[in-house]
Amino acid sequence: MTDTNEIRTRFAPSPTGYLHIGGARTAIFNWLFARRHGGKFILRIEDTDRERSTDDSISQIMESMEWMNLDFDEGPFRQTDRRDIYISHVDRLLDEGKAYRCVCSKEDLDTKRDAMMKSGKKPKYDGACRGKDIAADCGKPFVVRFATPKDGETKVEDLLRGYVSFKNDELDDIIILRSDSTPTYNFCVVVDDAQMGISHVIRGDDHLANTPRQAVIYNALGYSLPKFAHVSMILGKDGKRLSKRHGALSVMEYRDRGVLPDALVNYLVRLGWSHGDREVFTLDELKRLFDLDAITKSAARFDEDKLIWINSEHMKIVPASVLTPLVGGILSARGVDAPPGEIEKLSPLLRPRSRTVVEIADSMEYFFADTIEFDPKAAKKFLTREIAPVLLELAERLENIDFSVQSNIEENFRGMVDEKDMKLKNLAQPVRVALTGGTVSPGLFDVMAALGKSKCVKRIRAAAKYAQTPD
């Protein structure tokens, strides 16, 4: 039996696809609320939709949760493993006259629905089988419907919206058990939340319409209602329902694009929650600061540019022990042999210029390459025949200096520029292309010191040979 004063939240995804950011934010809000109040966070897989639910989706959801560091205290529970519990509750409602069997055919229901819509009425079941006391051995396929009270109203408190009232005569006699004896979503949710002692249900406001349907079932079963908090939906920048065209991807796709888990959590929390004007939070800070009273009622708008900016800020503070294996994994997948110690040495040079882990890997790859592929446009512009002898002379000079003192590199480089009466950029850019393959990099002398004498000399000579090659 759970402690009635304990905060208990849950995340209950349907495993019909990958975990996208809307579901991820719901999980984060529930997890943070439980952690903030020393409560429990429960993971439940709502897989009653047998046709669309897949084990692959469950694996993806679990992987996404683990990657975001959203640990759960109980579960994962699968609804398909709890069928006997649901059936016992259905039987109880049948015995108490609070549910009934319905043998209406789909064709009859469709005909009645069309007629109601044509007459301007709200389409719902007309209760044709209610009160008939149809037996289980009636010889016809049947569903079980909940006998919704027809008088009065159902009042539910929402922690974000205040009290919300619904007239009972507007509610339908919803199906709680299908003809194949599988229970339905709205019924399973009530039984699960009650049995698991869920104290707070934090979910998207697209579920607000389900709340009265579930509330009357809670009452019929004699269960206390949890506290509800319906969070506004996430919209695209254009104010329309969020979709992939707004840049919204699954959690794992953001991981693969080099977004850090703490940064994604940080950004998704800020979609609907605030703490002053602050934008960047660590996970520990969020666990200490998050609460429902700072959640806004207005819909949040997804902005991928803002997400990447948040990630760039986290890139500056993520420990090397976390960043190094992430970068190493990307480089390894590309066939690049990059020792962890070398990655860690290069990271301070590249972090300030990188917004994602992938960008760090991109900018680090040329440090470990045996040969450099030149960007065609950069090579055409900077690796000219005129610069070839200058590059060869620079290579000779570099071979005779001590690279362990970085100032030696810069002094010799600038000295050669002065001797030849050149502008610094007219030698620096060809050398940058020679060393990195492109025209963008950290400071040239920092790059040269990090590469070391051998690679610098070898690459500059290779670039000079390339520049001398006829078109």
Q: What percent of the chain has pLDDT over 70?
A: 97
Are 42 and 27 in contact by the 8 Å Cβ rule? The answer is no
3-state DSSP helix/strand/coil % of the chain, to nearest 5 = 50, 10, 35
The per-residue pLDDT for 7 is 96
Q: What angle do CA 453, 346, 67 make, to 5 degrees?
A: 155
Q: How far apart are CA 460 and CA 432, in angstroms?
A: 9
Are 171 and 241 in contact by the 8 Å Cβ rule? The answer is no
Phi, psi of 100 (to 5 degrees): -150, 155
Amino acid code (one letter) for 57: S
> pLDDT tier at 51 (50, 70, 90 boundaries)?
confident
User: What's the pTM?
Assistant: 0.90
Are 93 and 146 in contact by the 8 Å Cβ rule? The answer is yes
3-state secondary structure of 45: strand
The per-residue pLDDT for 197 is 97
Side-chain-side CA neighbours of 455 within 13 Å: the count stands at 16
Asked if omega into 15 is within 30° of 0 (cis), the reply is no
Q: How far apart are CA 462 and CA 465, in angstroms?
A: 5
> pLDDT tier at 4 (50, 70, 90 boundaries)?
low
Q: Which two tokens stand for residue 5?
A: 């004063």
Q: Which two tokens stand for residue 130?
A: 């209610």
Asked if residue 3 has pLDDT above 70, the reply is no
Alpha-helical (H) ranges within 369-452 are 376-382, 388-399, 406-419, 424-436, 444-451
Dihedral, CA of residue 318, residue 322, residue 326 and residue 329, to nearest 10: 160
Structure confidence by residue, pLDDT tens digits, 160-209: 988 888 888 889 999 999 999 999 999 999 999 999 999 999 999 988 88
Distance of alpha carbon 168 from its chain centroid, rounded?
38
The per-residue pLDDT for 169 is 86
Strand order across the 162-167 sheet: 162-167, 153-158, 227-231, 200-204
Asked if residue 244 has pLDDT above 70, the reply is no
Q: What is the mean pLDDT of the chain?
A: 93
Which residues are annotated as catalytic?
244
Mean pLDDT of 376-386: 95
